């Protein structure tokens, strides 16, 4: 790799099945990961195995027999289809490397087979044990060691040892600037406001919590009813305004939707007392601004992940208050029922949640950078060891992907808001009326009669689609549920034109999500086009596009993407 290539990397658009994209967590302002839990889980697993000596002996015998076949060169053990660690031809063609790979895979499978999956055991305990075993087995993969990785050795030979120097430089850089974690993205080509978040617009409202951005129309006529985007609080809003051709904001504006977005401020410890009430109140302020500027009595709203939870709380509050300022709502990859299995709920025990609440209360914030690094270990192959090999053993720079840049640009979460989310996660109050109170009103989602458009991702490991589907039974309005074929983030960044994209729509909404999918129809393309028809029918008539942004009461100020988006964690 020459110096010029390192100085001027070209921005890449990742493929839909890129492992890191399917693994990144997006907004996960919840429990976190305590190393003592992992140790405790392994201890519990060892205690279980000690009580089942016959099971352990039988599986050990199977492993020894398989290892005998590996030594004899007749084993058929092979990596899983999506496992790219062993892509180098040496792993399949060189006798020694092939045996090393097969021995590792046989041992890895044996370790996972020992996880206690008894039906009487709670799903969280099973998932915790799977995770702890995964951490151990993936860390011990031969591909992670320089002397055992044929690709690393070839790279060192081909570059006369310079790859080792580059790898050491990358390692030292990550120790200094990335908390000791391998960097997942080359940030150098990106600049927010220059090649990310570039849709024209202006800040029309600013408070200590947020800015509201109005986007400039690009059509002669626009719909009467504005659309307000409510992003997650632990990620920057520009996931929906990523880059030209991949921007949801650009797409919506191009089709005549008067578009506004909230840009949350990055809180500091002095903002520790911003909670659910304050954020819902900020959303109401943003609605007031969007409606006044547009001359509309109401608006449509769109919430994503944790922003979708905030949106749902706001809808419940408005319903309880008799406030009609929201016409229809869209919720993307939003999990409101936390009782169903999910990655974020795996370690959500009372003790873990109390510890997480205490940590953020002590600091004043839940640090977004720390959270991103901790959650990377939930997908160790894709977000840790993949980059360990690429950055350190091969001496390569990580690729410059726009989505991964966004993922590495998190914000903090105020301690009070973090506590509020943790309470929702632990008590699961949104599944019952009056289980939680916001701005003095009890929240009953069944009283929310707005039309809703719900989107989930079929391969979403964060907000499992079946958990997202549960919302179809929680609201009282007419609901359209759409299931995309992608994961958590790729379900959002899904512009039309991707021939691989699919989405599923079903007219009936039975209680069982598996019954729904059986009756759902598959459609080619992006759900964006399907949503546009839905929201267009709920956006009123058309009117001439405004000649300028803002109004007398809400004057246009700082150009989009505003000031708050540039605040680092």
Active site residue ranges: 305
Q: Hey, CA dihedral for 18, 22, 28, 33, is it positive or negative? A: negative
List, in sequence order, every beta strand (DSSP E) within 157-269.
201-206, 210-215, 221-223, 227-230, 259-264
Distant-in-sequence, close-in-space partners of 225: CB < 8 Å, separation ≥ 6? 258, 294, 296, 298, 299, 300, 327, 538, 539, 540
DSSP 323: -
Burial 110-137 (b: 16+ CB within 10 A, else e): bbeebbbeeeeeeeebbbbbbbbbbbeb
DSSP 93: H
DSSP element (H, E) containing 40: helix 35-50
Q: Which residue in this structure is represented by tokens 């352990």?
A: 56
| Alpha carbon separation from 66 to 63, 99, 136 (Å, rounded) | 5, 11, 21
Q: Distance (Å, rounded) from C-alpha 453 to C-alpha 478?
A: 9
Q: Distance (Å, rounded) from C-alpha 18 to C-alpha 382?
A: 9
DSSP element (H, E) containing 257: none
- What DSSP letter does each residue of 447-491 carry, written as one string? G--SEEEEEEETT-SSS-HHHHHGGGGT-SS-EEEEEESS-TTTT
Q: Distance (Å, rounded) from C-alpha 248 to C-alpha 238?
A: 9
Q: What is the CA radius of gyration of the chain?
A: 25
DSSP element (H, E) containing 102: helix 95-113
Taking 3-state DSSP, the helix, strand and coil percentages for the chain, each rounded to the nearest 5, stand at 45, 15, 40
Q: Distance (Å, rounded) from C-alpha 472 to C-alpha 457?
A: 15
Q: Distance (Å, rounded) from C-alpha 561 to C-alpha 247?
A: 13
β-strand partners of 451: 328
Q: Distance (Å, rounded) from C-alpha 334 to C-alpha 341?
A: 14
According to DSSP H, which parts of 272-323 are helical? 276-294, 306-321
Q: Which residue in this structure is represented by tokens 């989930």?
A: 456
According to DSSP H, which parts of 159-241 are helical? 162-177
């Amino acid at each position: 790799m020459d110096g010029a290539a390192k100085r001027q990397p070209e921005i890449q658009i990742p493929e839909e099945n890129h492992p890191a994209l399917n693994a990144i967590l997006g907004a996960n302002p919840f429990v976190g990961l305590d190393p003592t839990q992992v140790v405790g889980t392994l201890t519990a697993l060892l205690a279980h195995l000690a009580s089942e000596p016959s099971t352990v002996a039988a599986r050990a015998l199977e492993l020894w027999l398989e290892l005998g076949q590996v030594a004899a060169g007749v084993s058929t053990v092979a990596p899983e289809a999506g496992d790219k660690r062993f892509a180098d031809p040496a792993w399949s063609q060189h006798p020694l490397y092939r045996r090393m790979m097969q021995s590792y895979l046989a041992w890895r499978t044996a370790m996972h087979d020992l996880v206690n999956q008894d039906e009487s055991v709670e799903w969280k305990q099973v998932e915790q044990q799977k995770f702890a075993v995964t951490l151990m087995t993936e860390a011990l993969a031969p591909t992670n060691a320089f002397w055992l990785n044929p690709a690393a050795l070839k790279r060192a030979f081909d570059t006369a040892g310079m790859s080792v120097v580059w790898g050491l430089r990358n390692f030292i850089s990550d120790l200094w600037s990335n908390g000791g974690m391998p960097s997942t993205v080359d940030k150098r080509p990106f600049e927010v406001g220059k090649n990310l978040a570039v849709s024209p617009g202006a800040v029309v409202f600013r408070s200590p919590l947020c800015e509201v951005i109005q986007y400039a129309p690009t059509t002669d006529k626009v719909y009467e009813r504005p659309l307000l985007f409510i992003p997650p609080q632990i990620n920057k809003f520009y996931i929906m305004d990523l880059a030209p051709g991949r921007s949801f904001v650009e797409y919506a504006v191009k089709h005549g939707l008067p578009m506004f977005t909230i840009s949350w401020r990055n809180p500091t410890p002095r903002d520790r007392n911003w909670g659910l009430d304050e954020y819902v109140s900020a959303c109401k302020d943003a609605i007031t601004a969007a409606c006044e500027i547009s001359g509309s009595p109401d608006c449509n709203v769109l919430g994503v992940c944790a922003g979708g939870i905030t949106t749902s709380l706001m809808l419940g509050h408005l319903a309880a208050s008799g406030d009609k300022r929201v016409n229809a709502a869209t919720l993307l990859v939003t999990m409101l029922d936390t009782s169903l299995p999910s990655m974020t709920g795996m370690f959500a025990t009372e003790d873990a949640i109390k510890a997480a609440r205490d940590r953020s209360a002590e600091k004043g914030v839940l640090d977004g950078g720390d959270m991103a690094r901790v959650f990377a270990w939930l997908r160790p192959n894709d977000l840790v060891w993949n980059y360990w090999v690429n950055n350190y053993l091969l001496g390569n720079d990580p690729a410059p992907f726009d989505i991964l840049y966004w993922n590495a640009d998190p914000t903090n979460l105020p301690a009070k808001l973090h506590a509020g989310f943790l309470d929702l996660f632990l008590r699961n109050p949104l599944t019952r009326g009056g289980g939680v109170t916001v701005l003095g009103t009890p929240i009953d989602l069944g009283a929310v009669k707005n039309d809703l458009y719900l989107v989930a991702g079929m391969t979403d490991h964060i907000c499992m689609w079946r958990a997202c589907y549960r919302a179809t039974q929680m609201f009282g309005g007419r609901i359209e549920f759409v299931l995309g074929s992608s994961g958590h983030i790729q379900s959002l960044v899904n512009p039309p034109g991707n021939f691989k994209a699919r989405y599923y729509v079903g007219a009936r909404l039975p209680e069982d999500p598996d019954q729904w999918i059986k009756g759902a129809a598959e459609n080619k393309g992006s759900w964006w086009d399907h949503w546009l028809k839905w929201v267009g029918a709920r956006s009123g008539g058309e009117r001439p596009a405004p000649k300028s942004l803002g109004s007398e009461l809400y004057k246009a100020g700082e150009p989009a993407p505003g000031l708050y988006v540039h605040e680092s964690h």
